[in-house]
Structure 1
């Protein structure tokens, strides 16, 4: 699944703002905004974001 689509679903599911997500996931409050505007994340960034979402979805924290 495309990373941005997965992030958008995560934001809705957890009812959190995009800036908070970016800050907590990778210390970049503009992450989601930049992705929405065409930023292409690298493999390392993608892996960090996915790990964060997986951890918060399972309740183990980030």
Structure 2
């Protein structure tokens, strides 16, 4: 198989080409989703730290 045939075969397996505007919107939506997830994780971690501090003070 030549290099051009191998390259052509890989192109068929790739995802369809998305117009730039749709890709940008999709990327922004993903970033917003990730930011929301990070905010949720931060809240959980803050709650965990508060609980740990409360437990430590109670044991003193």
TM-score normalized by structure 1?
Answer: 0.34
Q: Which protein has greater RCO, CA pairs closer than 8 Å, 6+ apart? A: 1
Bigger Rg, which one: 2
More helix by percentage: 2
